[in-house]
Chains A and B, each alone.
Chain A
Amino acid sequence: MLELEKVHARYGAITALRGISIQVSNGELVALLGVNGAGKSTTLATIAGVMHPWQGSILFEGEPIAGKSPEQVARLGISLVPEGRDIFPSLTVEENLRLGAYTRKEKIEYRRNLEEVFDLFPVLKERLQQPGGTLSGGEQQQLAIARALMSNPRLLMLDEPSLGLAPALVDQIFELIARLHQRAVTILLVEQNVERTLEIVDRAYLMNTGLIEIQGTPQELRAKADIEGIYMGMRRQPDS
């Protein structure tokens, strides 16, 4: 479904990605792991069209998408929930969700998606007329994911959805991701919480300084990581 081939990207003079190749198949849940500054968020931003690679190719369902604008990429069915959530604080929850469905013009589909989203996030139904900025951190994260789901994405990209949330909410978010995966949503997940992530994903890529270091199933990753004894990120985190 998604295929990155030797993608390079940089911010001005700083090289962020040094030729990474990633594949995500239909219905898969794949994670990008690695320490801060490894290039995980840059990878998502590059796929979403927010950044443009200066080398390499990105194929989505066989179509090259490198260099397309964010709105063009969104129309193809790729949805990004950025780090820091980026909900619209001055818009109500309902307006946030309505914009999430911008690429979907049908009213019936909108209603159905809205019901589905309320089913997943009952709290949003209660907060419908409240400005997004007045929600708690956990609720904002739920809104951000709900907004992305409103477009019926073919590929959902989540950038550190558990960041800055209380432990109970972190559990909820991981359960939710697992549940979305069961519903056959294709997901590319960026996470710092390595242990929790490896519990739910099909495959993972371990990134470091703009390169893919290791890839494979959780078992393979655990084995390789043990042998090579790397990464602070691979150690069990004290809060989990």
Chain B
Amino acid sequence: MINLEFIINTISLGSLYAMLALGLVIIYGILRLVNFAYGELIMIGGYTMFLLTGATPLPWLVISFLAVAAAMFTSLFTELVAFRPVREKSLTAMLITSFAVSTLLQNGALLIISPRARAVTLPQLFQTSVMIAGTSVPWRNILTILTCIATLVLLTMLLRYTVLGIALRAAADNFTMTRILGVPANTVISTAFAISGIMAGIVSIFWIGRSASVTPTIGAPPLLVAFVATVIGGMRSLTGAVVGGFVYATIISLLGVFLPPELMEFREAFMFVFVIIILLVRPQGLVRSKTSVERMG
């Protein structure tokens, strides 16, 4: 029930969802674009791990860094070739483009690799547990929490103390004004896509760490989680994304404990009932943003 194991597992899941939501909201904050190709970045991370663990003797840590890099470069590349050309047109054009990119990447994986699941070899650490205060806690969950803390600290420092980070936050407040001050739109947007890709890459390590396999459609569930978490937390704020991720994880974990076994397969449905209730009470999400809505490319 609600014991230490439950708490650590929930925090771990929340950490994963928080990073997931952050990657989606950092682009939304600036472009007002929900990037539906976000899930495919996780797929890219997964396939990078699959290909490298099979074909190279590289240590796992190096491989995971390369997986994050692959997700980041894919994110930057999609921005450059797909989103940038339609950015000045309309938000709808960008939205449709994101669906197109998503489909393209998925079909690319289907064609080049296989529609079937591919096993990703994980280090021993991912399968072992450690005893903490009398309960067994998987190392994977502890690693997720530690990675999330490190990521949040680094991201906060970037956004607080570097001019580029300040420019990113300014662009989320008012993009046009940021450009009037001389900050190039492309720099801001590329940085946002890079951060988004890094988040997806980090998440891919732990997401795939749970199933130890990767499929072309593996991106859909995390995209949905990220989307719902940001809606709960508030689409306009990075804090909201983190809060949303943890709230989502808490609700889903509690449902896992308290729902009778015969209703367990409807866990997601119950989850969305909660989401609807939250949105009825606070339509703007849990964390409110002071700034007005505006978009400009």
Contact = CB atoms under 8 A, between A and B. Distances in A.
Interface of A: 48, 50, 69-71, 74-75, 79-80, 82, 86, 88-91, 95-96, 98-100, 102-103, 133, 147, 151
Interface in B245-273: none
B185 A100 contact: no
Given A48-B180, A50-B176, A70-B176, 20 more contacts: A50-B179, A70-B179, A71-B182, A71-B183, A71-B185, A74-B181, A80-B180, A88-B173, A89-B291, A90-B172, A90-B173, A90-B289, A90-B291, A95-B166, A96-B170, A99-B166, A99-B167, A99-B181, A100-B181, A102-B167
B151 to A, nearest CB: 21
A86 B177 contact: yes
5 contacts: A50-B180, A90-B169, A95-B170, A99-B166, A99-B170
Given A89-B173, A90-B290, A75 B182 contact: yes
B183 A99 contact: yes
B182 A74 contact: yes
Nearest to B187: A71
Contact of A103 (B173, B176, B182): B182
Interface in B263-297: 289-291
A139 to B, nearest CB: 16
Nearest to B173: A88
A99 B163 contact: yes
A71 B166 contact: no
B159 to A, nearest CB: 10
Interface string B154-195: 000000000100110110111011111111110000000000
Nearest to B176: A50
Interface residues of B, number: 21
B239 to A, nearest CB: 11
A80 B174 CA distance: 14
Contact of B163 (A69, A75, A98, A133): A98
Interface of B: 163, 166-167, 169-170, 172-174, 176-185, 289-291
A99 B167 CA distance: 7
B169 A91 contact: yes
B186 to A, nearest CB: 9
B181 A151 contact: yes
Contacts of A100: 181
A96 B167 CA distance: 9
A133 B170 CA distance: 12
A151 B180 contact: no
Contacts of A89: 173, 290-291
Contacts of A98: 163, 166
B278 to A, nearest CB: 23
With a 10 A CB-CB cut-off, give which of B166, B177, B180, B290 has the most chain A CB atoms: B180
Contacts of A74: 179-182
The 4 A-B pairs with the shortest beta carbon distances in the complex, nearest first, are A74-B182, A103-B182, A70-B179, A86-B177
B181 A102 contact: yes
A86 B174 contact: yes
Contacts of B291: 89-90, 133
A188 B172 CA distance: 28
Nearest to B296: A50
B185 A91 contact: no
A82 B163 CA distance: 22
A169 B167 CA distance: 30
With a 10 A CB-CB cut-off, give which of B172, B173, B177, B184 has the most chain A CB atoms: B177
A77 to B, nearest CB: 10
B240 to A, nearest CB: 12
A88 B179 contact: no
A88 B183 contact: no
Contacts of B174: 86, 88
Given A98-B163, A99-B166, A71 B177 contact: no
Contacts of B169: 88, 90-91, 95
A231 B129 CA distance: 81
Contacts of A99: 163, 166-167, 170, 178, 181, 183
B8 to A, nearest CB: 33
